[in-house]
Chains A and B, each alone.
Chain A
Amino acid sequence: MWESFWFEFINFYFIPGLVLGCIYALGAIGITLTFGILRFANFAHGEIMMTSSYLTWEFVLVASSFGLILHPIIGAIPASICSIFLALIVDRFFYKPFRNSPTIMIVIASFGMMLIIRSLVQVIWGPNQITFVKGIAKPNQFIKDFTSNFDMMILIPNKHISILLGTIIIMLVFNYLLSSTKIGKGMRAVSDNPNLAEVSGINVENIVKATWVVGGFCAAAAGVFLALDTQFIESTMGFRMLLPMFAAAILGGIGRPFGAVAGGLIIGLAEELSAYPWLGNGPVISPGYKSGVAFSIMVLMLIFRPSGLFRGKVF
């Protein structure tokens, strides 16, 4: 009884929740950074995710036309560089003019960018879904055999292993970057008071660029991981993730990248676990309310602890 509970719970609810959470977490890092440093909610963030997965697909396709079979993760490297450039270009031409305007301007501008990027992708690649990876991912046999020796069989496909590992690696690099380099500190200063940062000799524009580089890279990673998991790409995939990612960023505390990670994991787990038959046979709340789970957590968080789990900013 207990064992079968664990088996089901871990394999069908916990691990999927964790994977989803990792994707949310990576996306939320970019959101929390732009929110904290540039002080606006970037609605175009999901589109950068989406574009990077399209670019990855395109790179893999082009390579294969030269007879080169690339793993999508390899294809993601040039794609994430392109996404970073995309983020920088968007910032230069569409956000920078509003740097000294009220926040709302840049929020609206980012909403406009969301439309522009998405329709560009739709015009170029069409609105149809594109297969990213074909077929069905079966659980990793080695882990399955190995863990079943201990009566704790774990079913986890390779794609999920790479998503989990990838997220951990990115997180570690990121940790180093923010806590042990000057850039991390500069970001905090700019986020606090850009004018003062400027007259303290900090080149604010460079810090802003660094923010986009980091945020763009994390978005690219999140986009590719999402495509790896769902195995297809389509033009609204970024927007679908946007609100839960906002929720994750707020949950963790704005301007707190590690908060965003924690928030992402919590939202991901909560969404998946909401369908678990905690009482009786059916899900506790109808899966029709699934996205409500993330929003409810977020709204409750905003009300009872607006600074988030990790004491982020409250403007």
Chain B
Amino acid sequence: MNFDTILSINKLVAGYGETEILHKISISVNKNEIVSIIGPNGAGKSTILKAILGTLNIKSGEIFLKKTKINGVKPSDVVKKGVGYVPQTDNVFVSLSVHENLEMGAWTIENNLNDKFEELYNLFPDLKDKKKQLAGQLSGGQRQMLAMAKALILDAKVLLLDEPTAGLSPKYRLEIFDTIQRINKSGLPILMVEQNAKQALQISHRGYVLVDGSNRYTGTGAELSSDPEVARMFLGSRG
């Protein structure tokens, strides 16, 4: 095992109930890396993230956070161990206000976080105006921002993002990718699932292409973007 590996998934087999969705998937995230997973709808990308969080039954294979094995650990404990996670859907508390949502993001931390909140509000000025509004009354994009902000409060060891830019306007999409890069520069490795695959690969150090629950291609972001096969099948390039 690479000494610098933060998160590694080893021949993971998992699924929902009887049905097996992931077939011997292996993925790793190293120190300071942004890693993207791309692939068609239903390939099992979100399932991988759920497996890491522990909301899923794992049939075989292993998941390591640094050197500790985390399969079979309760989700709330996985979060405590330092895994931040933004789900693809249902990712904010709709009946809580924006600010309370952020507080929930900071559940596992004890100390005073006012500075941190300020920082996030500066990052997402839209949210600042809506501090007291219920999250259920936000627009689709605003919700997505809130969900991101909520995960960023934690001083996580690794951050898992499930389609962080889905539904965001081009401007915010850029900003989110910027933010992701910025956070990453500050030392936080990130594993994200994206359908805006081109842009995602541009900022990723490495990428995985997943098809039908198996690894299909692996490479650096640049390699994958320039691979014509990948581009045609998964990036939506014409011709």
Touch A–B, Cβ below 8 Å: yes
Q: Among B89-97, B183-191, B200-208, which stretch is in contact with chain A? A: B89-97
Closest B residue to A204 by CB, please name it.
B76
Contact with A along B88-122 (1 / 0, CB 8 A): 00111111100010011101100000000000000
Q: Please name all residues of chain B whose beta carbon is closer than 8 Å to the beta carbon of A196 when the two chains form the complex.
A: 87, 90-93
Query: A146 to B74, alpha carbons, bound, how many Å?
Result: 62
Is B150 positioned at the interface, with any CB of A under 8 Å from its CB?
A: yes
Is A193 positioned at the interface, with any CB of B under 8 Å from its CB?
A: yes
Q: Are B93 and A186 in contact (CB under 8 A)?
A: no
Closest A residue to B105 by CB, please name it.
A200
Contact flag A200-B79 (CB < 8 Å), given A189-B104, A192-B94, A193-B94: yes
- Chain A interfacial residues counted at CB < 8 A: 19
Within 8 A of B (CB), among A188-222: 188-189, 191-193, 195-204
Q: Please name all residues of chain B whose beta carbon is closer than 8 Å to the beta carbon of A200 when the two chains form the complex.
A: 79, 104-105, 107, 150
Contact flag A186-B107 (CB < 8 Å), given A198-B75, A199-B85, A201-B76: yes
Q: Are A202 and B104 in contact (CB under 8 A)?
A: yes
A171 to chain B, nearest CB (A): 23
Query: A204 to B108, alpha carbons, bound, how many Å?
Result: 13
Contact with A along B54-98 (1 / 0, CB 8 A): 010000000000000000001111011000010100111111100
B101 to chain A, nearest CB (A): 9
Q: Are B93 and A185 in contact (CB under 8 A)?
A: no
Q: Are A189 and B93 in contact (CB under 8 A)?
A: yes
Query: A197 to B92, alpha carbons, bound, how many Å?
Result: 9
Is A313 positioned at the interface, with any CB of B under 8 Å from its CB?
A: yes
Q: Which of B79, B87, B96, B103 contacts A192 (CB 8 A)?
A: B96
Is B53 positioned at the interface, with any CB of A under 8 Å from its CB?
A: yes
- Chain B interfacial residues counted at CB < 8 A: 25
Query: A54 to B55, alpha carbons, bound, how many Å?
Result: 42
Query: A196 to B154, alpha carbons, bound, how many Å?
Result: 15
Closest A residue to B153 by CB, please name it.
A200
A76 to chain B, nearest CB (A): 34
Within 8 A of B (CB), among A126-181: none
Q: Please name all residues of chain B whose beta carbon is closer than 8 Å to the beta carbon of A193 when the two chains form the complex.
A: 90, 93-94
Q: Please name all residues of chain A whose beta carbon is closer than 8 Å to the beta carbon of B55 when the two chains form the complex.
A: 195, 198-199
Query: A202 to B105, alpha carbons, bound, how many Å?
Result: 9
Q: Are A201 and B80 in contact (CB under 8 A)?
A: yes
Q: Please name all residues of chain A whose beta carbon is closer than 8 Å to the beta carbon of B96 when the two chains form the complex.
A: 188-189, 192
Contact flag A202-B76 (CB < 8 Å), given A185-B103, A185-B104, A188-B100: yes
Q: Please name all residues of chain A whose beta carbon is closer than 8 Å to the beta carbon of B150 when the two chains form the complex.
A: 200
Q: Are B90 and A202 in contact (CB under 8 A)?
A: no
A204 to chain B, nearest CB (A): 7
A36 to chain B, nearest CB (A): 10
Query: A103 to B94, alpha carbons, bound, how many Å?
Result: 20
B157 to chain A, nearest CB (A): 13
B132 to chain A, nearest CB (A): 15
Q: Are A201 and B107 in contact (CB under 8 A)?
A: yes
Q: Please name all residues of chain B whose beta carbon is closer than 8 Å to the beta carbon of A202 when the two chains form the complex.
A: 76, 104, 107
A156 to chain B, nearest CB (A): 41
B111 to chain A, nearest CB (A): 13
Q: Which of A188, A198, A201 contacts B108 (CB 8 A)?
A: A201
Q: Are B87 and A199 in contact (CB under 8 A)?
A: yes
Q: Please name all residues of chain B whose beta carbon is closer than 8 Å to the beta carbon of A201 when the two chains form the complex.
A: 76, 79-80, 107-108, 154
Q: Please name all residues of chain A whose beta carbon is closer than 8 Å to the beta carbon of B77 when the two chains form the complex.
A: 203
Q: List 6 A-B contacts (CB under 8 A).
A: A192-B95, A195-B55, A198-B74, A199-B79, A201-B76, A201-B79
| Closest 5 A/B residue pairs (Cβ) | A201-B79, A192-B93, A201-B108, A203-B76, A198-B75
B interface, CB within 8 angstroms of A? 53, 55, 74-77, 79-80, 85, 87, 90-96, 100, 103-105, 107-108, 150, 154
Other contacts beyond A197-B93, A313-B95: 16, CB < 8 A: A185-B103, A188-B96, A189-B96, A189-B104, A192-B96, A193-B93, A195-B90, A196-B91, A198-B74, A199-B55, A199-B85, A200-B107, A201-B80, A201-B108, A203-B74, A204-B76
